[in-house]
Chain A
């Protein structure tokens, strides 16, 4: 299904929730709506589903304007952040309900097939209240999939689940979507989830659509500082800098040899921002690396990674180091950074330089 949003905006009272935006999610692929809470992901999704009407603009499906069409007449499926099932129906009836309403055949068989795909085949005779959160969300997913709608909307479906279950379901979802006969819109606050699902990503912030493109492209070449900030976990380190001959000079720090666009290089523009991903900082130096000496403020161990918060001459820096490391508070530590791995943004926050990615353009 070809979904097109043209000049969509939404105001509630006098307050704008969504600023005018155009978005045409890639047909029959996964599009991730990435943004913090309050970014407008749910509002946008409700407009796509037809649960809300936009204040301005139009929603088109396969070229046909469906802006005012009630949700009942559209062919969409939706999964909410909360586990929404019909509490008075058994799991089997829950999954079967969209099929029954359309008077389809082989309902029993199809329900069973879906249930076994989502590993809930043993729970079909139970009521939703008798299931755990993860199981309830599987039922909701199964019901949404049962419909076989060409547009499937998932609003942070995994956010209320515990870590392990989230990992597990996320992988299964990736496989389910890989079948690829419907356009999937998936809202999430986690950059990692967007990367895992692949496909396309639309980055949103404070009611604005900032960038839309293939996920890897958006990740590696964020158009602006705001996109880079939204699409980075842990947050990207942002350091003040100024253009100098043959590169940039970090404010009260070392110089990095980077080839800047000719315009910036010629004018020796000040007020630049250098962005460094936490994972780009290393303990071991390589050829051409710049050293950032500092003092450890905090070291958190998360999974098999260590997040080190450091006070350096150029400001606070967070580094994501592979492996479990123990650092004493106040211990001196020098991190290394390759100038080839930094982003440079101009004073307006637009991207000037992005690191080359292996195999990429």
Chain B
């Protein structure tokens, strides 16, 4: 009974994992090959194993600056998103005011709009203000999508904290800022982690706004990767190496917040 059910299950899992990981494997595979090998033959392992592609990325400023720009954009965006979303989420969670539910829903609808819709107004506005090709421009543009999501996630976590804790703190004599920082924030740190992770994820992979609003100085890695066709043709191997390096930060972040995300799922937010 046990045996004849384990086999199909195992088989299904193996097939699923192979399908899921094949593209990633292929990219890693390509990143260690030379362009000649990629274009000439079909091989499952690099025949002429090389680190040259990675060397190119870490030495060529046009490549590695893409990562730095991306990290700066993501950091600015995450910081602003969380700082703005924390008070907003607290208000939505603790107070009832005129139109609070509608406002909350309206915030979420922003998240549902395709980025392309905001492309033109952002482009026009930033050109006028001289913000084009700056890190802050992309970070601000991404706030439209990240703040609603962060508010939504944090509101869920905050509502899980009994209101009586707030009241007890006031009775004990805590001032609001002190209560918020020393008592309340530690209770929802999982939520802050999850919200920051989702901000990171969106901002790190978002291409359309990032590419349109930057040209040279603030160009993030995803935009760099779309512009690799040179006179010498497509640089497949370097592109693959860049792809691998782009996955790495996301994988590291996911590793750290995976328990928190599970908690977020359990609360119905995320």
Partner-contacting stretch, out of B65-73, B138-146, B164-172:
B164-172
In the complex, A88 has a CB within 8 A of chain B:
yes
Residue of A nearest to B169 (CB): A86
- B164 and A97 form a contact (CB under 8 A): no
Q: Within the complex, which residue of A78, A88, A102 is in contact with B171, where a contact is CB–CB below 8 Å?
A: A78
A51 contacts across to B, CB distance below 8 A:
167, 170-171
Smallest beta-carbon distance A58→chain B, Å: 20
Residue among B170, B174, B187 with the most chain A CB within 10 A?
Answer: B170
Given contacts A86-B183, A87-B187, A88-B183, contact A147 B172 (CB under 8 A): yes
Chain A residues 73 to 103 lying within 8 A of chain B, measured CB to CB, are: 76-78, 80, 82, 84, 86-89, 97-98, 101-102
Smallest beta-carbon distance A72→chain B, Å: 5
In the complex, A16 has a CB within 8 A of chain B:
no
In the complex, A277 has a CB within 8 A of chain B:
no
- A98 and B173 form a contact (CB under 8 A): yes
A80 contacts across to B, CB distance below 8 A:
164, 168
- B164 and A82 form a contact (CB under 8 A): yes
In the complex, A254 has a CB within 8 A of chain B:
no
Chain A residues 181 to 226 lying within 8 A of chain B, measured CB to CB, are: none
Q: Within the complex, which residue of B162, B167, B175 is in contact with A71, where a contact is CB–CB below 8 Å?
A: B167
In the complex, B186 has a CB within 8 A of chain A:
yes
Smallest beta-carbon distance B187→chain A, Å: 6
B170 contacts across to A, CB distance below 8 A:
51, 70-72
A77 contacts across to B, CB distance below 8 A:
171
A72 to B176 Cα, complex, angstroms:
10
B175 contacts across to A, CB distance below 8 A:
72
A98 contacts across to B, CB distance below 8 A:
172-173
Chain A residues 28 to 58 lying within 8 A of chain B, measured CB to CB, are: 49, 51
B174 contacts across to A, CB distance below 8 A:
72, 97, 101
A98 to B174 Cα, complex, angstroms:
8
In the complex, A143 has a CB within 8 A of chain B:
yes
A86 contacts across to B, CB distance below 8 A:
165, 168-169, 183
B167 contacts across to A, CB distance below 8 A:
51, 71, 78
A97 to B179 Cα, complex, angstroms:
11
Residue of A nearest to B173 (CB): A101
- B171 and A97 form a contact (CB under 8 A): no
Residue of B nearest to A102 (CB): B173
- A71 and B164 form a contact (CB under 8 A): no
* Interface range, B side: 10 to 19
Chain B residues 162 to 210 lying within 8 A of chain A, measured CB to CB, are: 162, 164-165, 167-175, 183, 186-187
A98 to B179 Cα, complex, angstroms:
12
Q: Mark B22-35, 1 if CB is under 8 A from A, else 0.
A: 00000000000000
- B162 and A72 form a contact (CB under 8 A): no
Residue of B nearest to A51 (CB): B167
Residue among B169, B170, B173 with the most chain A CB within 10 A?
Answer: B173
Residue among A76, A82, A86, A87 with the most chain B CB within 10 A?
Answer: A86
B165 contacts across to A, CB distance below 8 A:
84, 86-87
Q: Within the complex, which residue of B168, B172, B186, B187 is in contact with A101, where a contact is CB–CB below 8 Å?
A: B172
Smallest beta-carbon distance A161→chain B, Å: 17
B164 contacts across to A, CB distance below 8 A:
80, 82, 84
A202 to B175 Cα, complex, angstroms:
33
Q: Mark B130-168, 1 if CB is under 8 A from A, else 0.
A: 000000000000000000000000000000001011011
B169 contacts across to A, CB distance below 8 A:
86
A147 to B167 Cα, complex, angstroms:
15
Residue among B170, B172, B187 with the most chain A CB within 10 A?
Answer: B172
A89 contacts across to B, CB distance below 8 A:
183
A78 to B183 Cα, complex, angstroms:
18
Smallest beta-carbon distance B160→chain A, Å: 11
Q: Within the complex, which residue of A78, A88, A102 is in contact with B168, where a contact is CB–CB below 8 Å?
A: A78
Given contacts A71-B167, A82-B162, contact A88 B172 (CB under 8 A): no
A84 contacts across to B, CB distance below 8 A:
162, 164-165, 168
Smallest beta-carbon distance A137→chain B, Å: 13
A70 to B179 Cα, complex, angstroms:
15
A70 contacts across to B, CB distance below 8 A:
170
Residue of B nearest to A143 (CB): B172
Smallest beta-carbon distance A339→chain B, Å: 50
A84 to B172 Cα, complex, angstroms:
12
A72 contacts across to B, CB distance below 8 A:
170-171, 173-175
A108 to B170 Cα, complex, angstroms:
22
Residue of B nearest to A140 (CB): B168
Q: Which residues of B contact A (CB under 8 A)?
A: 162, 164-165, 167-175, 183, 186-187
Known: A80-B164, A82-B164, A143-B172; 12 extra A-B contacts, CB below 8 A, are A51-B171, A71-B171, A77-B171, A78-B168, A80-B168, A84-B162, A84-B168, A86-B168, A86-B183, A88-B183, A88-B186, A143-B168
5 nearest A-B residue pairs (beta carbon): A88-B186, A98-B172, A101-B173, A84-B164, A71-B170
30 pairs from A and B in contact (CB 8 Å cutoff): A49-B171, A51-B167, A51-B171, A71-B167, A72-B171, A72-B173, A72-B174, A76-B171, A77-B171, A78-B167, A80-B164, A80-B168, A82-B162, A82-B164, A84-B164, A84-B168, A86-B168, A86-B169, A87-B186, A87-B187, A88-B183, A88-B186, A89-B183, A97-B174, A98-B173, A101-B172, A101-B173, A102-B173, A143-B168, A143-B172
